A and B are shown apart, each in its own frame.
Chain A
């Protein structure tokens, strides 16, 4: 008990307090202490990316960050994306393109894409593919995830969507 620390975390614009051991990961605190279970754990060694969140706007693995390191940072999780019960454009696009099946990896991909598109709003399909190769999905084969993010990028830029996957496959 002695080595627990009282920390303050700013998550999705709200201040939270948590009493945590220094060894406790940010992912475990988000899920266990704050009840934000949208952030999933797929490997706990930083490879699969299911726990990807935004830390000061940067996509990071919440399983590789100790909660005590995240004080004074702006933390965003998947729970921040929809507003007033309405899916955001990126979430809608994932649904429209069937970019998810079991949905376990999805929060990680959404946060990865959210961070990436903010940094590189004009990314092309190949750059998007390169970026999402950071995370693992076991269900979709990735094509529809790339489609969904590319469509969001195009929509945000006000251009047409290269959404026909078969055309994309042959190009």
Chain B
């Protein structure tokens, strides 16, 4: 067993809170976001969007649109004739039904907000006028908005080819002993059977989506400037949809105001705008407004679990049997498909616990709602919530302490291959729990909670333990049977005559501080000040292919590719240095100060400037046959199942008996993301992630009326928490370096969001422990809390 390492390996820069390189421009208003870019002759686009959730398109009349002064063009699907967006899995028809998402709706609309036509005009105000003038006739069909309506006999079909409104249906594992374990538990132990639900959420980057497309004759290329986490995937799909060679499309990404997954799939609007720009031979810009972002952008998280779990009398879990339904909305997203949520949930649900028998069925349901995409955590907030509620319920049933029951079930021997056929690399599952419990105990929260009932206060404590796969290489994604398989990353590094380096990465910073952290890695590898390292991302011309930033892959995979590239450059520099110093290469090392030195005589040194000066400007001095280029390229892919971060969250809440409001009194996170590259950045990822998890637990929900009309179309109805709702959060680190990545780093982008809903929900239920009510769905509304407290108060007064 590998024990916890509180101090991972340190470089001079890795491990330090190096100030962010991104900050000065962002603080002075000099960042460059998509909407900040203006091009000569640029036009603006807007979309006519469906006003019914489900209906046949009878007619789209754009004549009044085209008459408005300033409107330049308006197109329907027929006008543009674009290839559909189709994302596929290599699974048999009984498991997966392929469906197509047209760029603009044809024949039928499947959700309110679906783009039906694109309007192009001279300014955004004119475009709004144009959009309003469109006349669209629908023959309405009954809308499918819930599991009840989707799975009903004779239910209307969202896609004719998907009977029962199911896009994916997988039954997995069904390992021996499941039924026996439940029989045994019913006699001697306990069986927990719970249904939990999580509301539909919007990842909600504060910068909405947006794109500018323009044709460049000199480059013989369509330039697409877009805010995307995955520039190369945009290029691939866009070229295919427009019937162009991929070299004729260049995708660049400027500063991005967040993404959280919503921008890691290709949007149909990106393709429509590109097509319009080609047709009109003018730059065309589209900036999504907030109403569109809330109703028509990719959503996530609406899931229902029925989780049955068997425990023996000592509180050891003996089996899990789960049925999972994910409401994926109207379409499959590219490249992940509608399988993204159910496949993640079913493959990983046992999580951090030793589950000896496991059976799961997971379905992707299609409904007349805006489609879904990965969102920070992808299903893990949901299955962790189900598993953590199971633990608390079983502890209560068996008279065990909630922490103790977790201790009895956590994986402690590594590597551990679970019942789900996933191998977990070493982590600190048990240690983070012990530390988190210690925080609450030492600060007196346990004491406060125990005495609260007597004082008429409703205070509860909740924990969540979880791990997060962060190095998803191509092998791990291939297990899901995606037809387009993400995984590797490529990095290229070059040194110039000033001895500074430019490093490219296929990852895509959108708030994660890559310009700082990847520079720290390179600085250590080359023995160079990070100020002499400049990161370039977000340009498909700079790198052969990249997979962008999602699934907490940038530090692990991107950081590893950057490391290997830097090492290769170091080798080139050392070899030339040795020749110039007239010694053997193995007698030369990096000196840590931007140069190389002789091992047996460190006084003999050459700076990188010296070496680059010879390589580029006096290359006749190089040894015969050697190349002048001070550059290197490397790719990296994580082997096997990848690496897992882990954490425990501990939360104290108080329920207000007057209003039902839940107040978070204390939030502690103890996490292990392997080697911490930049502590401030890691803390920021944890806290920001937790804030989004709290948002899902207590506030945010995209709701729909029975006819499929979205009822949270503004920030008045979609409740994004503010500083008044999100508490201060303490973050403590353990470091178990990953052996699967070059730097020992594990990812940390999603963990906060994964652990928060479970811990908060457990704490709420603990606060309501005397009421006999258990709340299993998020967001937890104050009304539900109030109802539980009122009914308990009523019962108490009846009894007295």
A interface list, Cβ under 8 A from B:
21, 23-24, 28, 31-32, 36-45, 47-48, 50, 77-79, 81-82, 87, 91, 94-96, 98, 100-107, 110, 129-130, 132-146, 165-166, 168-170
Contact = CB atoms under 8 A, between A and B. Distances in A.
Nearest to B36: A37
* Most chain B Cβ neighbours within 10 Å, of A96, A130, A138: A138
Contact of B688 (A38, A139, A146, A169): A139
Contact of A77 (B29, B257, B714, B723): B29
Interface string B724-739: 1111111100000000
B258 A96 contact: no
A161 to B, nearest CB: 15
Given A44-B289, A45-B715, A102-B258, A138 B29 contact: no
B715 A103 contact: no
A32 B125 CA distance: 12
Contacts of B692: 138
Contacts, number: 182
Nearest to A21: B125
A146 B723 contact: yes
B373 to A, nearest CB: 16
Contacts of B730: 165-166, 169-170
Interface stretch (B20-28, B233-241, B400-408, B594-602): B20-28
A104 B691 CA distance: 17
Contacts of B33: 37, 40, 104
Contacts of A110: 27
Interface in B643-683: 666-668, 680-681, 683
Given A95-B19, A101-B513, A169-B728, A44 B684 contact: no
Interface of B: 17, 19-20, 22-24, 26-33, 35-36, 38, 124-125, 204-208, 255-258, 260, 289-290, 443, 510-513, 666-668, 680-681, 683-684, 687-688, 690-692, 714-716, 720, 722-731
Contact of A143 (B208, B260, B722, B726): B726
Contact of B207 (A96, A104, A129): A104
A138 B726 CA distance: 11
By Cβ-Cβ distance, the 10 closest A-B pairs, closest first, are A38-B29, A104-B257, A103-B26, A102-B511, A141-B691, A47-B715, A141-B687, A169-B728, A133-B724, A37-B36
Given A42-B208, A102-B510, A110-B27, 8 more contacts: A95-B27, A101-B513, A104-B33, A104-B205, A105-B257, A138-B204, A166-B731, A169-B727
B683 A48 contact: no
24 contacts: A24-B125, A37-B29, A37-B32, A37-B35, A40-B207, A43-B714, A47-B716, A78-B27, A94-B23, A95-B24, A100-B26, A102-B255, A102-B511, A104-B257, A129-B723, A132-B723, A137-B206, A138-B204, A138-B692, A141-B687, A141-B688, A142-B722, A166-B730, A166-B731
B328 to A, nearest CB: 23
Contacts of B690: 141
B630 to A, nearest CB: 31
Contacts of A38: 28-31
Contacts of A91: 27-28
Contacts of B20: 95, 98
A48 B30 contact: no
A165 B681 CA distance: 14
A139 B258 contact: yes
Given A101-B511, A101-B513, A82 B720 contact: no
Nearest to A1: B69
A106 B692 CA distance: 18
A138 B716 CA distance: 16
Nearest to A38: B29
Contacts of B443: 170
A115 B757 CA distance: 35
Contacts of B258: 101-102, 104, 138-139
Given A101-B688, A102-B206, A136 B720 contact: yes
Nearest to B28: A82
A138 B692 CA distance: 8
A166 to B, nearest CB: 5
A98 B684 contact: yes
B720 A138 contact: yes
Contacts of B28: 38, 78-79, 81-82, 87, 91
A38 B257 CA distance: 13
Contacts of B728: 143, 146, 165, 168-169
Given A39-B29, A87-B28, A98-B684, A105 B724 contact: no
A102 to B, nearest CB: 3
B19 A96 contact: yes
Given A91-B28, A95-B20, A133-B724, A44 B290 contact: yes
Nearest to A137: B206
Contact of A42 (B290, B512, B723): B290
Nearest to B689: A141
A169 B729 contact: yes
A98 B680 contact: yes
Nearest to A136: B720
A45 B714 contact: yes
A170 B720 contact: no
B587 to A, nearest CB: 43
Contacts of A43: 290, 714-715
Nearest to A128: B723
Given A102-B205, A144-B684, A170-B730, A87 B666 contact: no
A35 to B, nearest CB: 8
A143 B29 contact: no
Contacts of B667: 169
A42 B206 contact: yes
Contacts of B23: 94-95, 100, 103
A139 B26 CA distance: 14
A138 B512 contact: no
A77 B30 CA distance: 12
A94 B207 CA distance: 20
* Most chain A Cβ neighbours within 10 Å, of B19, B692, B715: B715
A94 B19 CA distance: 11
A28 B28 CA distance: 19
A107 B687 contact: no
